[in-house]
Structure 1
Amino acid sequence: MTSHEWWHNADLRMATAVGDGWRLFNDLYLRAQTDADLLALTRRTRLAQSLTHAARTEHFAPHLGGRQITADNAEATLAALPVLEKDVLRHTPEAITTGLVDPWDVLKVRTSGTTGEPVWIIHDDTKLTESTAANLRMLDAYGLQPGLRVIRATADLRHGLVDYETMPFFGQATVLQVNMSTATPGDAAFLTRLCAEFKPDVLWGQPVEILLAALRQNEGTIDFPKFKAVLTHGDSLDARARATIADVFGCPHYDLYGLQEFGRVGWECPQSPGTYHIDEERVSIDVQGDGQVLITSLTNTAMSLLRYRPGDGGELLTEPCPCGRPHVRLTKIEGRKRALVADADGQLVNIKPLRLILEVQPLHRWQVRQNEAGCLDVLIAPESPADGDELARDLYAALKNTMRLRELTVRPVELAELTTASGKAPLFQLLATQEALSAAVVDNATSW
């Protein structure tokens, strides 16, 4: 039977996925947090299915082809697989694509590229379904209700001062987005009134965005109402940033650990701060002897991500959590830490406009350095060294209008200058780090 063209309609598929996720929360995610046997059975069964799907792919077929995979031997089978490196996703993503999902229906996301070149990941509808269920469980643990109202702090010059959106898969949340980079003292009355009338439950953003929101509040640019919680995501948190956020906003602060490759992987336990419950219904996690985290997707039928090494470090806790949940926990997470660019006016802005231009260029690697507000030094290692000078001129023309700068240099360098012993170096070395922003909030001391 031929499907109606609406079968591929993204809005309708979103609505269906969210409804399925609500049922999955009630049938599995809610029960599994008190039923260790159900959690273990779900994990093993889903892992066996993921391994079976992976056997169809070019990359994993030599390791899995012809094997009888069951829930009983799935964990041993997974442990015998080689580590999946990001280079496979970057150069041959088709080698881990299963072909089980219609190209019309795949969900595409791109990794942040903070410490390496970004890669495209494809998911099926289960990303929305499982995320909906996992988010409902997390919100319940944090004492938050479906229909919550979220202020999303942003620092992206491409965004307006304020905007609204909804997040159906995040407890049917309504979101008020506020741009902390472009907000000025002249906007104080408007922003304060708007936020008060919105009656938010949560402040949400990356750590540097939340710290910038704290700085704006201290400056009198905005006076936030009392939140029930602050949620951070996207970057590892340093100790001072945690303390600053808790002190300024005076409410519980919970951090989330996730990657575009998988969605959210873990969430901070409200009874055991600094430890993150892994959503073992949808991912399996292991830590190598050197502390490197390996993550396996249990639900993505579009792309096989098994024993994937994202470059993050951590320590796995398998003993029971004081809260009673049976899920393993991750702690001492070490991963990416973004910072903000200080422009010629001292305004702090997101790195994304720069990154979007640089990441599509024919470059082996690149790096943006800042030692003074309004000044950027961009180092590029072209794929073709002979084209370095011309590429530098083109990039100068493209980058100079992304933000207000007093000085911009773009210069070709040897690849070795941008490569560390591990094979990669941070793409950004900036002034407005978590530590510097915390100092600005607490000590009124700026380094830009």
Structure 2
Amino acid sequence: MPQGHEEALATVVREEWGRLTSLLLVHFRRLDLVEDALGDAVEAAARRWPTDGVPDNPAGWLHTTARRRILDRLRAEAMAQRKAPLLLVDHEHTQSTATDGIRADPGDLVEDDLLRLVLMCAHPALDLAAASALSLRLVLGVTTPDIARLFLVSEPTMAARITRAKKKIVAAGIPFAVPSADVLPQRLDTVAHTAYLAFTAGYAPGSGPDAVRIALAGEAIRLVRVVLGARPDEPVLVALLALMLLQHSRRDARVDDEGAIVLLPDQDRSRWHHDEVDEAVRLLRSPSLSGPVTIQTAAYAVQARIAAEHATAPTADATDWARVVGHYDDLLALSPTPSARLARAVAVAEAQGPEAGLAALDGLDDELPLSHRLPAVRAELLTRAGDTQGAHAAYDLAIQRCDNDAERALLTQRRDALT
């Protein structure tokens, strides 16, 4: 396939896979059929687009092709089972009730197709991690390698987990049906966790050309706002929205005109969305966060307070790094993840110097064996400490592990600047 066609197909798969999956699931409710049909459609595009040209609406082409594949499969199944009339009637009923989304429920939840599909994936038969991974892949279109990075596991491990979750849905006959409003409270943790991971995938993509996927991050925020419309004082959603808004407020300053990453100390703070910062600060003062909350809620709130330290400081030099370190200590008491330890080491280096930051990295290599951010942080701290040779080696490792084009360009630039 010529390069232009390859790029067009890769782009539509990356950006539209989740939406296409959602649309087809809404109509056909068969996970196995939808995935097979979309895979066939992508293969057909790889064969035909080089000769026919890229269609004006690539996503529509894939949707139409996949839809035809599903209908062919349904006809074949109907013939095999000799139940063609029954299936045809059922299909026509589905078409009439789900043209713009699933409408078979009593309508007492929220009329948002994305939320409906996330809630479907959040079936209690799946644990939180499996449900979130499945939602990220099927509904939001996050790639399996990026999901693996979010969960700090290898790509084959994550692919196997997602496959097991899909097989469990198919084998157990879990329907892609809209749950009623009374199940929403039991699935809020999964919805929040999915939105948090989707936002992280948009805010710091693990692969691809973009430094930030603004559309994905924005969709995660919209999802939380939709649920908050139904449950406006839900603590986990209040804390999560505050965290997201504080991070998302910097989106326009995070890259320059050429798409290169601009680090926090160098960002033009006049380009930050200060209205979102103000909203987030108000959310952190919400009475719903003043009483006892879950560990998940508390962890989101602490991360939001860390982000608020940066967002409300008039300049980067005015950041109270000692207080940031204290917040990270609180976060580690709630959720002692290696990612939080890595972020704390950065704050320690700012507060106490690069040697202290390097000491705080001890023991993380075994916990983050695939991460490019650990050697990247080590390289920066070794540079500040005057160990140019060690910094060069750490940058080499970070570049080797990094699959995001924008981050890899920044790392290469910093490594080359050492000499």
TM over 0.5: no
Structure-2-length-normalised TM-score? 0.28
Bigger strand fraction: 1
Structure-1-length-normalised TM-score? 0.27
